[in-house]
Amino acid sequence: MYTDAVVIAGIVTVLLMVGFFIGVGIFVLKDSKHQLGDHGRHSETPSHNGRKH
């Protein structure tokens, strides 16, 4: 089978994209399970209310 550098680069690109989307999907699933009972990321401890930077 003849494999050119372009073919190898294309396969690597597709594998990287698939890995990226799987990683994003895992992150979203873990984050949604973490925030089921929460109403947002800063609902329990408002750390920077009223402070100006």
Higher model confidence: residue 46 or residue 34? 34
Any domain includes 15? yes
**Domain annotation covers residue 29:** yes
Q: Pick the residue with more confidence: 26 or 47?
A: 26
Instruction: Report the pLDDT value the prediction gives residue 12, as an integer from 0 to 100.
Output: 97
The answer to whether position 53 is within a domain reads no
* 12 is a domain residue: yes
Kindly report, residue by residue over 8-44, the tens digit of the pLDDT: 999 999 999 999 999 999 999 998 887 776 555 555 5
Residue 1, in any domain of the structure? yes
The identity of residue 13, as a single letter, is: T
42 within domain boundaries: no
In the block, which residue shows the tokens 């994003």? Answer: 24
Give domain status of residue 8, yes or no: yes
The pLDDT of residue 38 is 56
- A 10 A CB-CB count for 23 gives 10
Place of tokens 């990226």: 20
Looking at per-residue pLDDT, the higher value among 20 and 50 belongs to 20
Return all residues near 41 (Cβ < 8 A) that are at least 6 apart: 35
Residue 39 in domain: no
User: Total structural domains in the chain?
Assistant: 1
Three-state secondary-structure class, residue 37: coil
Domain that holds residue 18: 1-34
The predicted structure's pLDDT at residue 13: 98
